[in-house]
Amino acid sequence: MNQLLYSLIFSSFSLPVIVHAGAVPNDLPKPVEANAKVKINLNLADVNLLTHAIKGIGAKRAQAIVAYRNEHHEFKSLDELAKVPGIGKHFVETHKANLEEVFTVAAK
């Protein structure tokens, strides 16, 4: 009898916890992954940000990217980097995956 009484008392204390746990909404925003990478926008980045962003883009190529962008227009695609003096089609083709991982040309 005492054991039944203790079981009922214990279960009555845990009932509000169970009910309350069910009241928590499931649509809470998920935390941002610590490893989530923000892409560099070629249309906004300065020389310092572009320099060494990926292997093969040093200060000279970074300056060429900014100069090309300022003289012509915003980049519409990453393939347009092939038109930048000192970069060329071969560099863009061989570094395509890395370029797509690190850079974007999204509108301002």
Establish if 15 belongs to a structural domain: no
Domain span including residue 94 = 45-104
Q: In this structure, what token pair is assigned to residue 103?
A: 């850079």
Specify the number of domains making up the chain.
1
Establish if 31 belongs to a structural domain: no
The pLDDT assigned to 107 comes to: 74
pTM: 0.66
String of b and e for 1-13 (b: at least 16 CB within 10 Å)?
eeeeeeeeeeeee
Establish if 35 belongs to a structural domain: no
CA-CA-CA-CA torsion sign (101, 102, 107, 108): positive
Establish if 39 belongs to a structural domain: no
Establish if 60 belongs to a structural domain: yes
Taking the chain (108 residues) in consecutive chunks of 10 residues, what is each chunk's mean pLDDT? Answer: 62 58 59 69 96 96 97 95 96 96 87
CATH of the domain at 82: 1.10.150.310
